[in-house]
Structure 1
């Protein structure tokens, strides 16, 4: 049984679990040359004890980044951020205590990403926070293909080095390699834009 057939079976099973028929388009085949860059800010890296604070998503169409129509959504977590994490993500209690609920956020985010592959820097972490919320909201996890720009960068650099250290694969190092201006990290929207720019250099 081929991997493609297994993927089709998995997608069909997920679609059968879908509780929101308006999101059925997420399970259709993506259009070529269309992606969505995504980035999240959280109170930490463990989805079992930390919480999502903000999500940004920006369409990539061919070689264009549609920054004019991106999303940057603040969420109200069940536990407000504390001082030691605020210095990382910059979001205070005052910023998120009246923000949208997770369901309200997903009501905007999921139709926006639709069936596009998700492009990110370590997007597995972001998806790890999103998937429990998505499953509660629509009955199944995100079906989208996930593209991590780190292995893309490593493959592009093959032959130029004897392997890249984890530090060399840090987003700032990748941006510097391609002369991409740093817009300010640990802001979900800025990170999504910079990730999208790096992806266009590598794809």
Structure 2
């Protein structure tokens, strides 16, 4: 972490309104990450809402699927019928879900200070940060690792001329012979993202 990142992290910590989460600002342990995936009613955080969040620890070369979490949230606006094909969650699935505060009370200690691994995680973080800031006074301080970007860097010129190859998780899974799990499930997507991340770390 360079001095500018340290300064930003220190400023964020001064904004923290929940002292029990102070450990999120500490240095993470080596080779420990958390894979995250979210389901939303759409892709615009200004008018769409979180529906579910899944998080799984990665410890060294092991994905701790036995202790992961998949939290279904109750959005302020129920999902539109036309969007169910995208996220797979019906009104009946989310109307008795957790409030965002209840979700964060479980999710944030689980994330703690681990770097966040995701596929296009900027989208998920864009939805999480507004509710995180309302909950604890500041946004997530964690380092964020984009599996799509890692794959693009690893492949280099080999992705040139192949439209959107590095933009689809299914391409990465196929490249490393990783089995695809069921769609429309944040927990399955988090597992697949974690598997892709480990392959990208260990293979050329």
TM-score, normalisation: structure 1:
0.96
Inter-CA distance 202–164: structure 2 relative to 1 (3 Å threshold): farther
Aligned pairs for 1:1-203 (under 5 A) are: 4-162=2-160, 165-203=163-201
4+ runs deviating over 6 angstroms: none
Q: Distance in 2 between matches of 1:154 and 1:178?
A: 14
Tell me, in whole angstroms, the C-alpha distance in 2 between the residues paired with 1:161 and 1:35.
27
Could you tell me how far apart the structure 2 residues matched to 1:12 and 1:163 are?
43
Q: 1:39 to 1:148 in 2, by over 3 A?
A: same
Q: Give the length in aligned residue pairs.
A: 201
Structure 2 portions without partners, runs of 5+: none
Unaligned runs of 5+ in 1: none
Q: Deviations over 1:71-91 (max 9, x none)?
A: 100000000011111111111
- Measure the CA separation in 2 of the matches of 1:181 and 1:113: 26
Report the Cα offset of residue 163 of structure 1: 6.1
Q: Deviations over 1:26-65 (max 9, x none)?
A: 0001111000000000000000000000000000000000
- Are the aligned partners of 2:148 and 2:166 in contact in 1 as well (CA < 8 Å)? no
Q: TM-score, normalised by structure 2?
A: 0.95
- CA distance, structure 1, for counterparts of residue 149 and residue 77 of structure 2: 34
Distance change >3 Å, CA 168–CA 27, structure 1 → 2: closer
Q: Deviation per CA, 1:173-202, whole angstroms, max 9, x where unpaired?
A: 111111111102221000000000000001
- Are the counterparts in 2 of residues 27 and 115 from structure 1 also a CA contact under 8 Å? yes
- When residues 168 and 12 of structure 1 are mapped into structure 2, their CA distance, relative to the original with a 3 A threshold, is closer
